[in-house]
Structure 1
């Protein structure tokens, strides 16, 4: 493998890490509160707000229903408005974030639903506020499930970031498409595939280890 090819793969790898890290971070910051709101405002929860719950749920479901490759193209005007361009690593972060945030929200909501309702009732009986119930009871109990879900979300982002290469989004996907597919250079495609496999395996192992550590506490 030539030094120029190694350099291209390394640069593309860093671009992929940047895309996944930033979009995953922003998506988590947006998705966790949204998931909490979806849970607590459910009609069977302790702070029912049916109208708000239905509206937010519809928005989340709508965003999750759009395949990423279509979303990527559909929001190009918005992407240009936010970052000034529709191509490159920065541009890819916008649709990646919009795609992963509602996914994380549903993960959080589902994890919170699995918490024993008796714990919530016990906290209410002791006079805990709604905020205390969320921060001291629900989130700690649901954390293993949330972390496992976040691992899946980040791995999904890696796949989405590769799709972003179709429109010049940068990263390993862009490198694989430009050289491995369009120019039919298997000596580029296979190293890209191997790097992606190693990256996914590493993230999955790290996530599993973190979940086991949290679960044993």
Structure 2
């Protein structure tokens, strides 16, 4: 069994692992950059929010839900023109970051919105009574109070992106998913597929553990 793991294949597995780390890391960062303001806006314009606006909330919420409800494999194919425009190619690690980011943004937005909902409304009302502006309420009340929940939401997003990145391998997106399909499935090497699955499980466990640790630190500090 192990004789099939040549030095060349092991090097390829290492490269594929780092491709997965890059895809998840970059898409997670960009997705959070997109999702954070979306989540804040959804909370502010929601019923009882500082900037309550039912129609604006429904419009943005519908767009967010539309992307979230689209199966990722369909999203991968649907945004190929955009991917080619931004990266010059529809395959490879850089190309996979585009659909991964588009999937991560709305996903993170809803998790961040849910975290902001948990903030005590009394704190917001107290800030308003003291004349705080909307920006001050967001930066000094909502985000600091919801930070542990936001970190937990970003962790969930990264874990989900790991699964999506493996799926991106189905269309040559690179990473461990691509390696598992090309070697484990197409070349009938089940042991390679098994190792890819184990590495992905360990990677997800590491992400979740790091996120849980940071959430506990932030909650304790708060």
Provide the TM-score with structure 1 as the length reference: 0.98
- Partner secondary structure for residue 52 of structure 2: coil
- Structure 1 segment 145-164 matched on structure 2, within 5 A: 145-164=149-168
Match of 2:18 in 1: 14
1:39 to 39, 43, 47: 43
What's the C-alpha RMSD, in Å, of the aligned pairs? 0.9
1:3 aligns with 2:3: no
Match of 1:68 in 2: 72
Distance 1:29 1:46 in 2: 22
1:81 aligns with 2:88: no
Match of 1:52 in 2: 56
Judge conservation of contact 1:147–1:207 (CA < 8 Å) in 2: yes
1:133 Cα deviation from its structure 2 partner: 0.7
1:168 Cα deviation from its structure 2 partner: 0.3
Q: How many residues were matched structurally?
A: 217
Write out per-residue CA displacement over residues 180-208 of structure 1, whole angstroms, 9 at most, x where no aligned residue. 01111023112211111111111110000
Write out per-residue CA displacement over residues 147-202 of structure 1, whole angstroms, 9 at most, x where no aligned residue. 11110100000000000000000000000001101111023112211111111111
Distance 2:164 2:141 in 1: 34
Unaligned runs of 5+ in 1: none
1:5 Cα deviation from its structure 2 partner: 1.7
Match of 2:208 in 1: 204
Match of 1:105 in 2: 109
Distance 2:145 2:101 in 1: 26
Provide the TM-score with structure 2 as the length reference: 0.95
1:51 Cα deviation from its structure 2 partner: 2.3
- Structure 1 segment 175-186 matched on structure 2, within 5 A: 175-186=179-190
Unaligned runs of 5+ in 2: none
